[in-house]
Amino acid sequence: MSTQTTALGYTILILLARCRAMGCEASGYDIAQWLKKPVSYFWHARHSQIYPELAKLEAGGMVTHRLVEQQERPDKKLYSITDEGLRTLLAWLVEPPDFPPARDEMSLKAYATHLMEPQQALELFREQKRRHQERLATYEAIREEMDGRTGGKLPPVHSADFSERITLQKGLFYERYYIEWCDWVIEAIIRLESRNGDLE
């Protein structure tokens, strides 16, 4: 029995399943590009991880490749998902994921807020708020672009557009909650500190 497919492996299989539905293939480079633009918001990997992972997937029978020779550009390997790869992916998809082991730097800093000067804490939370507002604006722009394409309503459940829309919705809700939390903390600090001194 070959080694277990990892989350990165399944990430690649998801792209190759999308390619298969569109009747195309993808190179390692294509996958690396795809992991930059929209997907990077919920999954991240470098090309140095992707090439070895593709080799592992192929050894496990999940994908195959054909070599395409090119002039003026380096040759490339175009990968496609196998039937077994698709079956394996489907079985993994419907399995509810566990809570991932938490490792959140901002929570850690929040947990040590009492060590900071109130003014420093305020600056930290305001900066976090600003950054998440920016990210929220990015997501809103993507939504507008998506809604434009689909006429403002949800695409059918079996379409890739549906998956994209609900994943985006997670991001939208997430950023809103994050901003809400920052506001809650900022207001708490101001309220509690307003008696003592003058807080900007």
Binders of its own copies in range 57-86 (CB under 8 A):
none
Question: What is the Cα 39 distance to its own chain's centre?
Answer: 5
Using the rule CB under 8 A, which residue among 59, 149, 184, 194 binds its own copies? 184
Tokens of 143: 């939504």
**Which secondary structure element, helix H or strand E, spans residue 31, and what is its range?**
helix 28-34
**Contact stretch for its own copies (CB under 8 A) within 52-60, 61-69, 143-151, 189-197:** 189-197
CB 153 within 8 A of CB 96: no
Least separation in angstroms between residue 166's CB and its own copies is 5
Least Å distance between CB 40 and DNA?
10
| CB-based contact 84:59 (threshold 8 Å) | no
Question: Which of 124, 127, 140, 146 lies closest to 174, judged by CA?
Answer: 140
8 belongs to the binding site for DNA (CB under 7 A): yes
Residue 156 Cβ vs its own copies, minimum distance, rounded to whole Å: 6
Q: Which CB, 83 or 123, lies closer to its own copies?
A: 123
Strand 76-81 vs strand 63-68: parallel, antiparallel, or unpaired?
Answer: antiparallel
Closer CB to its own copies, 64 or 131, in the complex: 131
- Which structure tokens are listed for 100? 């991932």
Out of 1, 22, 67, 102, which residue is the one contacting its own copies (CB under 8 A)?
102
Q: Residue 168's closest CA among 143, 133, 138, 141?
A: 143
Within 26-55, the residues that bind its own copies by CB under 8 A are: 39-44
* Cα separation, 81 vs 64, whole angstroms: 7
Q: Which residues pair with 66 in a beta bridge?
A: 78
Residue 127 near which of its own copies, DNA, none (CB within 5-8 Å, type-dependent): its own copies
Q: CB nearer to its own copies: give 54 or 124.
A: 124
Per-residue binding string, DNA, 111-140, x by CB under 7 A, is ------------------------------
Establish if 107 lies at the interface with DNA (CB under 7 A). Answer: no
Instruction: Kindly state whether residue 32 participates in binding DNA, applying the rule CB under 7 A.
Output: yes
* Chosen from its own copies, DNA, none, partner binding at 139 (C-beta under 5 to 8 Å by type): none
Confirm if 172 and 165 have CB atoms less than 8 A apart: no
